[in-house]
Amino acid sequence: MNYILSFDVAKGKSVYCLIDNFKNTIIDSTSVNHFKNEFDRLFGNIRDYRPLTVVMESTSVYHLPVENYFRSKGIDTIVMNPKLVKQFKDSLNKAKTDKLDCFKIARCYLGTNNSFHHKNDEYFKYNPLARQYWSLTEGQVRLKNRYKQLIDVIFPEYSLLFDDLYSNLALDFIHDFPHPELFIHRKTDFLMNYLMNHNGSTKAYRFKNKVLKMKSIASNSLCFVGFDSLEVSNLVQVIELIKYNKKEIDKIKNNLISSLKDTNLFKIINSIPGFGDFTTALFLSEVGDITRFDNPYQLISFLGIDSVISQSGKSIYYGSISKTGNKFGRTILFNVVTTLIQVSAHSNPTNSVYLFFRKKQFEGKHFYKCIIACSSKLCKIVYKLCCSNVTYLNK
């Protein structure tokens, strides 16, 4: 007989129940605070019930202490997708309490054959690094928008002086000279040497035309804020934050690549066109051990790119994708497919994913539907190669 210890987790406390695989209640719904002594007492009460599986639904970060506690005790612990659990919670009876929910979570586990969120593999342990990357990237976008906004207020002509306002040279120069008055009266030789040193060049004369252009544009700028204004100090601060975020993002990229590059699945996925070193490491840290899925369609569902199917009589409607899976893995796959199609159109038109994309286009499908179809195909390729333990080139 198997036993299921089910948790409905909230911030700082949980409600648990213990049932067997025939849905008989062993321990009724009981509240427990997230303190070690209370969990030790609970563990002593359920010590004799084996084999035991602990199940809970993902609740932001609040389920992590409970999950880590039972994993440290060597108990098989499963974290389920909340949207999957919600389907089992929906009923004609609209009563919703923590006591009822923990039973419904247990019954959801017993009543479905879907793949659950197992984290006990060598890839998932790098998931916190991946989530930190996504958080920093999101913050970087906001900072860059603010940076561009401040430049438009202070000296919009900077966009005429630098092809890329987010390059290291542009960031360094605008940080040191955030207002045109701060460099318009500087000597030409000084600015030439400044640009030479920050560009890694050894010949200052190459920057003479650029400096003269800077001075000419700055002298004719309709700038209405002073060099000592709050906007200028804000711009300097935002640039410092952008540079700091940039360094931290690069550290995470290098850490993920160096940690996973020697693993077997990394070498296999990295051999597939479209997957670079960082994309491969990021994908593995989000999806985990791909060979744990029973078939490629479970991987597709895990990423949330499976179609929602509605049927009434003989009418079958294939709707939009479910989006019930890992949104970060879905984003990575979307970017990989988009890049793969763009590159293959010029350098590798015989690529199977690209040919499939063209086929869907000829069928009159919308661009994004073609991308989703190609993402599913790429999932099947990834799954097949990983389970067969062969690289793309050796296929």
Q: How far is CA 296 from CA 158, 292, 335, 372, in A?
A: 50, 10, 20, 15
Which pLDDT belongs to residue 395? 41
Which pLDDT belongs to residue 254? 97
Dist. CA 54–CA 70, nearest whole Å: 8
DSSP H or E segment with residue 355: helix 352-362
Q: Which region holds residue 42: left if phi is over 0, alpha if psi is between -120 and 50, else beta?
A: alpha
pTM of the full predicted structure? Answer: 0.81
Under-70 pLDDT residues of the chain:
83, 86-99, 112-121, 202, 309-318, 394-395
Dist. CA 79–CA 303, nearest whole Å: 16
SS3 257: helix
Which pLDDT belongs to residue 295? 92
The amino acid at 340: L
Counting beta carbons within 10 angstroms of the beta carbon of residue 365, is it exposed (0 to 12), middle (13 to 18) or buried (19 or more)?
A: middle
Which pLDDT belongs to residue 92? 43
What rounded mean pLDDT belongs to the chain?
Answer: 88
Domains and CATH numbers, the chain: 3-120 (3.30.420.140), 130-255 (no CATH), 264-388 (no CATH)
Which pLDDT belongs to residue 115? 45
